[in-house]
Each structure stands twice: as C-alpha cells, then as structure tokens.
Amino acid sequence: MRALILVGGFGTRLRPLTLSRPKPLVEFCNKALLLHQLEALRQAGVSHVVLAVSYMSEALGAAMREQEQRLGIRISLSHEKEPLGTGRVRAAGSGRGRGRAQAGRRRPGDTGVGTGAAGPLALARDLLAEGGEPFFVLNSDVICEFPFAALARFHRQHGGEGSLVVTRVEEPAKYGVVVSEADTGRICRFVEKPRVFVSNKINAGLYIFSPGILQRIQLRPTSIEKEIFPAMAQEGQLYAMELQGFWMDIGQPKDFLTGMCMYLQALRAQHPEKLHSGPGVVGNVLVLCPPVPTLAKWRGLYRELWLPSRPWCSPSSFQDPSAKIGANCVIGPNVTIGAGVVVEDGVRIKRCTVLKGARIRSHSWLESCIVGWSCSVGQWVRMENVTVLGEDVIVNDELYLNGANVLPHKSIAESVPEPRIIM
Amino acid sequence: MPLKAVILIGGPQKGTRFRPLSFEVPKPLFPVAGVPMVQHHIEACAKVPGMKEILLMGFYQPHEALSRFLVSAQQEFKIPIRYLQEYAALGTGGGIYHFRDQILSGGAEAFFVLNADVCSEFPLQEMLEFRQQHGDAHSFVILGTTANRTQALNYGCIVANADTQEVQHYVEKPSTFVSEIINCGIYLFTPDIFQHIGEVFQRNQQELVLEESSNGWQRAEVIRLEQDVFTALAGSGKLYVYKTDGFWSQIKSAGSAIYASRLYLNQYSKSHPERLAQNKPGGPVIRGNVYIHPTASIDSTAVLGPNVSIGEGVTVGAGVRVRESIVLHGASLHDHTCVLNTIVGWDSTIGRWARVEGTPSDPNPNDPYAKIDSETLFRDGRLTPSITILGCSVTIPAEVVILNSIVLPHKELSRSYKNQIIL
Ligand SMILES: Nc1nc2c(ncn2[C@@H]2O[C@H](COP(=O)(O)OP(=O)(O)O)[C@@H](O)[C@H]2O)c(=O)[nH]1
Ligand SMILES: [Mg+2]
C-alpha cells in the first residue's frame, strides 16, 4: 500500500523549533515526528510513502534516505515548487540510490499544502494511482495510536470511496464536526463550528481513499475538507471510523506538550518498560537512554531510535547517547529527555520536553517547557508557561522565563517575566 | 571635650513606607547588615572621643524590644544609652528642646543629632575637625552630600559659601531647583542651638495664644529643625555645611534597607572584615559581602551573596541561592529555593524549589550622585515593581514563584503571586 503524508511548509506554528529542523524531524517523545508516522504506516503494510512538501531541506532528504534503509520502504517527495496550476509533479524518489531530493526554492511565509489542501493529492496523483489500491493520506501534525490497519479493514468493509478517522472532542463548537450514521459510520454532513450540538466527532486528519477519488481532484488549490469531502458525503461515499485512545494536533508548542502527556500515558499502558523509573522519578518519564549494560546494546538501540550520520547529530552525542540525571532531582510527571542531555543535581522538571544535547544546570525548576537541542539552562533558573527555547540557546543563571519564545542561538541575560518572543 | 549624641527615632506613625516590616519591630530596630538600623549610629557615636552618653529620642511607648536593645548596646559599646520618650510627636526640633536639660547634663559642650532613618559612614570626627578649622567654636554643622538636580528636590537643600562653607540659604524639599547639596540629617550643635529653637518656641506660643487654642502649649512645642530653625539660621554666620563624599542614603522604604545593607556590608569589608562570612571548606559558597549570624545553619551547597544578611537561627537548605536579600531571624529556606531582592520575614518558610524574587530599586548606577528613590507603592493605580517582602511567619509552598509582591504577616500561600499585595 501507499501513503501520502501532508508535510506542508515551514511549520511556523512550531517555531522556534522549526527554524532549526523541518517539522517532521522535530523529535516528539524522543523520536522524530515523521518516524512515528512512518513506523505505523509500515506496520500496516505500507511500502511506499510520499511526503507532500512545499519546501525542501537537505536534512529531510537525508532522513528519508536513512529511513528507506532502516524500514525497507520507499519514500518519495512530492514537492510543490511553483504555485499550483503551473507546477508539475516533482516526485523525487530517492530509493535505491535513484535520484536525489531536490532542494526547492523557499518561499517565505508559505505555509503551503498543509491540512486540507487537495493540491498535493493531485500533484502526487501518479504515484498514488500506480498501485490501483486504496492509499492513506495523513496530516503530519497529528499524533495518536495510528489505527492504519483497522482503517484499511474498515474501508474495505464499507466499500465506499473514502474513510476518515474521527475523534471525540469535549467542545465541538470550536471545530468542524462530522455527522455520521451511528451503525454504518456513513457521513451525512460536515458542520463548521456548530452553535448547537450536532456531533462531538471531528476530523482527525487520517484518511484512506480508493484511487477513484483522484478523479475528483484538479491540479489547483482545492480544499479537500471544504470541497471534496462534502461532495463525497452527499454521494454516500465517505465513512467515518472512530479513533480509540488519544489524539492531538501537536502543531504548536502548547499542544505539543499536551500531546506528549497523552503519548506517555498511552506508553504507560502499552509499554511500561520503556518508561524510566528510579529515585526522584515521578509519573511518566521517558529518558533516552536509560543505563544500558553493554556498548553493543546501546549502539543498537541508538541506531533504532536515532538516525546516525544526520548533519545535526554531533559525534560526541553519538558516542554516548544516554542522558545523565544528577542527584536529588525530581523528574516528572510527563517529561521526555533526549539523548546526551545532562540534568545536573537538584533539578525539578515536570511536563517538559528536553531535546538532545541540552544541559539543565543544578537547582533549576522547569514546568511546561520545550528545551531545544544543545541548549544550556543555567543554575536556579525558573522556566514555565510554555517557554520554548530554540536550538543552542543559553539561559544565564538565576533567570525567570515565563512563556518566553526564544529564537535559536540566543543568549539570555535578563528575566522574561511576561510571555514574549525573544529575537 | 564632653560630647553627647541624640538619635531621632520617631514613633509608630512614622515609617509607614516600611510596612509590613514595621508591624513586628519598630523601624529603627530593623536589622540592616545584621544589626539594628540605629546600632550603626551608636557604634559611630561611641567611637568619638569624649562621647558621654547617647540618647534615643522618639514617641514610641517603651517596649521590650527597645529596652533589650538598649541593654545589649550599652554592654557592647560600653557607654550609657537611654531612651527619652516625647509625650507626643514633637518634630525633629521639639524633642531636643523639650529634653535640653537632659542633653546638657554632665556638661556637654557639643552634641550630635542624627536621624535614625539614614545610613552613613557617619564622619562625626571629621565634622568636629571641620568646625575646629572654621574657627568659630559656637557654630553648628550640617552634614551635606551631593545629589543630582532632580532628586535634590526630595531633600533639604543647602546653598553655601564656596570658600567658608557657611550656609547662606536652606530650603526643605523645594519644588524647584535650589542646590544639589542636600542635608544628610546629621548635625553637630552647641548648647546655643537651644536659644534658636527657643525663639521658635516663643513665637509659636504667642501665635497660638492669639488663636486662643485650647492646647496651645503642646502645639507650640512641635518644632521642625529643618524648616523652622535652619531656614532662619541661614545667612547668620552660625550654620555651616560639611560636605562628605562618603556613602549615605535614607532608609525610608524596605527596598532601601537592602540597599543600605549593601553599603554597610561594603564598609565592613574594609573596616571589619571579620564580620563578613568567608569561603571555607565545608561551608557555603560566599560571593561578595555576606553577613551570617553565628547561630544560622547553612548547608554547604548553598550559594550566598552578594549583599546577603542572614539572621539569627535561620536555616538554609541544600542548593539554596540567596542574593541581594535580608533573611530575618528564624526563617527557613528549604532545598533549592532561590531568593533574590527579597526581605524574608521572621519565622517565614519557603518551600523547596520556590522562587521568591523582587525588583531592586537601586539608584542609577551611572550617576555617582543618584540616590535611591523611596518610591510610592503605587503608580497610576498599579503596584510599582519593588523588592519582595514576606512579613513575619509567612509560608510559601514548594515550587511556586512570588514576584514583586508584599505578603502581610502570618499568611499561608498556596500558589504563585506576581505584582500583588497579599493581605
Ligand atoms: N523624636 C522624634 N523624631 C522624629 C520626629 N519626627 C521625625 N523624627 C525622626 O527624624 C528623622 C527625619 O524625619 P522626617 O523629617 O519626618 O522625615 P524626612 O524629612 O523625610 O527625612 C527620622 O529619623 C524620624 O524618625 C518626632 O516628632 N520626634
Ligand atoms: Mg524632615
């Protein structure tokens, strides 16, 4: 089977992290976001994944080649280089050494072909139609326990043209909701921001389509949700499958952290052995890597979770990927700590993602933060309220950061008592 | 030459800008650099050869703290020290006039009058020498210092003859610029001063008789040294100013107590280095000038200073950071707390990883003549960011942040607070 991942543009909502990495390569719970999706797709029998991107990066190309080898699947890029209409399909298949991913021209401010745009579907038409079988389409910002196998089964059973995954929300009025038949799942209609209750299910951004759908889509900017889906629903060709378990759009830092909490909770239920435990660890904590007995073993583990020879992967952290946590720390609940991270003595961390190579110096206190790659957070620093540090940010000792959004390579010498962006 | 000194300590209606700290202890006894504010005055007076007696004058009811202080100060400085209580607030000149016999008893030929709410090097010997050099043994000397043009308006302003230093003009807190030489609230008088105060008294009495006031006698005795006496003496050849470049500040607000502590600790480093804490094996890390009461218990992993005063019986836990703060007796700082620009009240407790921080109101460091602004609490209806003050027996829970706030005594907080007065 094949799958199209709607990667889109510059991931501006997840800045400052996406100023250093393409969004699919930002680690979510110690694993690049893209890998969460690729691994789930492969498990469901997908052998060819197309990434729909509106800009190119060397790093993404390299990561794709790496994953092709690691997962034994083919990964292609569908690159919307020119505005739709004049552009043509640019499928840079990089499998088996054929061709190279092309570095496209960046168009600043282009958030591109993200969720809902049917354009990428049209662009990748040839690649997707080739197999003659149903293919998956997914939004790259979504995290959940991907139900691809079940979705394929569901799709085959009802025999319609498309299936989408829906998830329940508490406050449907904030979203567009999906109204479907209770027994069959057939979708009757979509209601944008309903003012009275009609449904509590929203589009989760995961689809499977039969190739026939490609006929519906023209090579022009088209909203799949606003134009294609309503038509399909009217013809009774679109079905909804309800998602079990958690779901989160992690496209922005606040939701990224919420999604992290949900993911760790699911991990607790399914793979508790992957979570960290020990003195000073509270609740669900994921540390890369907890002490691994032999060199060979950690090498293996490292290869599995990390992409060696990545441009951003420094040799030193490759040599010792295990994070170090000092004495008298209290870590958790809901913390992920990346490779090579050093947490010094007496640190308190809760509800945070600490990315690879960062250092948190002693006696600091962190809550609801994302600490970027190779950052250094000084002693007695307090950071909270969705403070996000871009790559290689230095926070001087004894500062207080409240909701600071700090661009990469910045050195901070003054407290940020109220939320703001530090250029 | 037999000398005396009078320290004007005011009374309970004074020092409201010092709340909530002045609820627990009269402001003149508030610890600055580890000892009660007026102990610095007493120490300076006791050092002057010929000093026979020191008189504290004010309108506080006699109370235990004051009596205990008098006893211990007499022992320490081996000089008689008494408290003279005014029957009502008699002003800066009325009290000394009322108690003139007490001041002159024992044949005092001259006496100093010092405002309690100043911090200074107290160049008393220099004032005596200055008067000697200026020939006239009966003249009076005001200690003066230089302020900047705008801040001078908040003080008594002195215009003096450039050669003789004779005071030609004196205005208390003018509304337009008069001079940048300001009154430090430290004076050297001879018994002749009582003639001049007496004249004011007579005049007051006559005016009040004309007004047929019922308690004219009492009100006639209310005399302000600055407005009523100095203004009249200016230009008479009897009043001189001795200008000092030594450190000097008023202590009106709690914020200025931290600043005054810094000035005194800095003086200790030159005059009494043994009073300052030293870095030694097994002890805490000391940065800059720090005073630690011998009964305090400080963990060896704590980092203190610069400008920290730790009171009697205080407990400081592991990994605690304190900077620019006064920690009063019996307080307890639990592990990993961070205390910056704060006065921690008697017997208060700060839970682990809590951050208690204020904003210093230091004078402009780029202006050598800048003084500390004893700012009002509110500006435009909002609390101006100032040092954080925890009243007596306040409990701060673990892991919260208290920023620029004033917490009234006996409060048990349960969350973070910013820019608030917590009743
Ligand atoms: N004994 C006594 N001291 C006073 C009285 N009024 C003020 N003081 C003290 O004199 C000093 C100057 O006070 P004041 O003139 O009120 O304040 P300033 O003009 O703002 O410096 C302070 O140390 C006060 O405590 C008073 O009525 N009696
Ligand atoms: Mg005055």
DSSP class of B274: G
B334 touches chain A (CB under 8 A): no
Residue type, A328: N
Query: Tens digits of per-residue pLDDT, B343-367?
Result: 999 999 999 999 999 999 888 888 8
Ligand 1 atom 18: residue of nearest CA: B155
The alpha-carbon gap from B310 to the nearest alpha carbon of chain A, in Å, equals: 19
Q: Calculate what percentage of chain B has a pLDDT beyond 90.
A: 79
Instruction: State which residue of chain B sits closest to A418, comparing Cα positions.
Output: B418
Could you say which ligand is closest to the alpha carbon of residue B85?
Answer: 1
* DSSP state, residue A280: T
- Residue A148 — very low, low, confident or very high, per pLDDT cuts 50/70/90? very high
Residue B15's pLDDT is 66
The CA radius of gyration of chain A, in Å to the nearest whole number, is 22
Confidence of residue A128 (pLDDT cuts 50, 70, 90): confident
Chains A and B form CB pairs within 8 A to the count of 43
Tell the burial category of A353 from Cβ atoms under 10 Å away from its Cβ (0-12, 13-18, 19+): buried
Mean pLDDT, range A29-44, rounded to an integer? 92
Q: Cβ(B117) to ligand 1 under 6 A?
A: yes
Whole-model pTM: value is 0.83
CA of B89 to the centre of ligand 1 (A): 9
Nearest atom of ligand 1 to the alpha carbon of B250 = 21
Question: What is the three-class DSSP state of B266?
Answer: helix
Among residues A193, A297, A356, A410, which one is catalytic?
Answer: A193
Q: Could you tell me if the CB of B84 is within 6 A of ligand 1?
A: no
CB of B336 less than 8 A from some CB of A? yes
Cα torsion A342, A348, A351, A357 to 10°: value is -10
Q: What is the mean pLDDT of residues B88-98?
A: 94
Output the pLDDT for position A188.
81
Is B100's pLDDT higher than 50?
yes
- For ligand 1, say whether the CB of B156 is within 6 Å of any of its atoms: no
Residue B10 CA: which ligand is closest?
A: 1
Which residues numbered 194-223 in A keep a CB inside 8 Å of some CB on B?
none
Summarize pLDDT for B216-239 with one digit per residue, the tens.
Answer: 556 788 899 999 999 999 999 899
At residue A118, the pLDDT reads 62
Dist. CA B244–CA B395, nearest whole Å: 43
Average pLDDT over residues A30-48: 92
Residue range A116-139: mean pLDDT, rounded: 75
B118 alpha carbon, closest ligand:
1
Instruction: Band the pLDDT of A105: cuts 50, 70, 90.
Output: very low
**Distance, CA of A69 to CA of A92 (rounded, Å):** 16
pLDDT at B341 over 90: yes
Tell whether A362 is within 8 A of chain B (Cβ).
yes
Which of B6, B7, B14 best tests ligand 1's pocket when mutated (most atoms within 8 Å of CB)? B14
Token look-up 């408290």 returns: B83
Q: Give the pLDDT mean for B34-49.
A: 97
A348 touches chain B (CB under 8 A): yes
Contact B353 A398 (CB under 8 A): no
The mean pLDDT value of chain B amounts to: 92
Residue B90: name the closest of B9, B179, B24, B2 by CA.
Answer: B9
Q: Is the pLDDT of residue A317 over 60?
A: no
Instruction: Report how far ligand 1's centroid is from the alpha carbon of B91 (Å).
Output: 6
Mean pLDDT of A157-173: 88
Residue B316 φ then ψ, to 5°: -120, 120
Using the Cβ of B302 and the Cβ atoms of chain A, whether some distance falls under 8 Å is answered with: no
pLDDT of residue B105: 93
Task: Flag whether residue B418 sits within 8 Å of chain A, measured between CB atoms.
Answer: yes
Give A121→chain B minimum CA distance, Å. 50
Paired tokens of A389: 């540090």
Q: Is the CB of B90 under 6 A from ligand 1?
A: yes
Distance B245 CA to ligand 2 centre (A): 21
Chain B's closest residue to A350, CA to CA, is: B399
Test A398 with B418 for CB contact under 8 angstroms. Answer: no
Q: Are A161 and A237 in contact (CB under 8 A)?
A: yes
Tell me, using a 6 A CB cutoff, whether residue B41 lines ligand 1.
Answer: no
Mean pLDDT of B75-85: 97
A382 part of contact set with chain B, CB < 8 Å:
yes
Find the mean pLDDT for residues B68-92: 95
Where do runs of H (alpha helix) occur along A134-184?
Answer: 148-158
pLDDT (average), residues B374-392: 77
Average pLDDT in chain A: 80
Centroid of ligand 2 to alpha carbon of B2 (angstroms): 28
Residue B92 CB–ligand 1 contact under 6 Å? yes
User: Which of A18-32, A364-378, B333-347 is least confident?
Assistant: A18-32
Q: A174 vs A192, A196, A242, B127, B196, CA distance in Å?
A: 9, 12, 19, 77, 80
Burial of B146 (0-12, 13-18, 19+ CB in 10 A): middle
What separation in Å is there between the alpha carbon of B91 and the centre of ligand 2?
9
Alpha carbon distance B45, A257 (integer Å) = 63
Q: Is A226 annotated in the active site?
A: no
Question: B180: Cβ below 6 Å to ligand 1?
Answer: no
Mean pLDDT, residues B393-407 taken together:
96
- The answer to whether A53 and A140 are in contact (CB under 8 A) is no
Using DSSP, state whether A154 is helix, strand or coil: helix
Q: What is the pLDDT of residue A119?
A: 67
Interface test with chain B among A282, A351, A380, A381, by most B beta carbons within 10 Å: A380
Alpha carbons B162 and B177: distance in angstroms, whole number: 18
B58 lines ligand 1 (CB under 6 A): yes
CA distance A280 to chain B (A): 14
Does B353 sit within 8 Å of A365, measured CB to CB? Answer: yes
- Specify the pLDDT at position A195: 80
The CA R_g of chain B, rounded to the nearest whole Å, is: 22
- Cα separation, A416 vs A405, in Å, equals 10
Nearest-CB residue to A400 (from B318, B357, B399): B357
pLDDT of residue A100: 31
In short, whether B247's Cβ falls inside 6 Å of ligand 1 is no
pLDDT digits (tens, 9 = 90+) for B270-292: 999 999 999 999 999 999 999 99
A214 DSSP 8-state letter:
G
Angle, vertex CA A100, rays to CA A96 and CA A101, nearest 5: 115
Instruction: Give me the pLDDT at residue A298, please.
Output: 46
pLDDT in tens, A299-314: 444 444 444 333 333 3
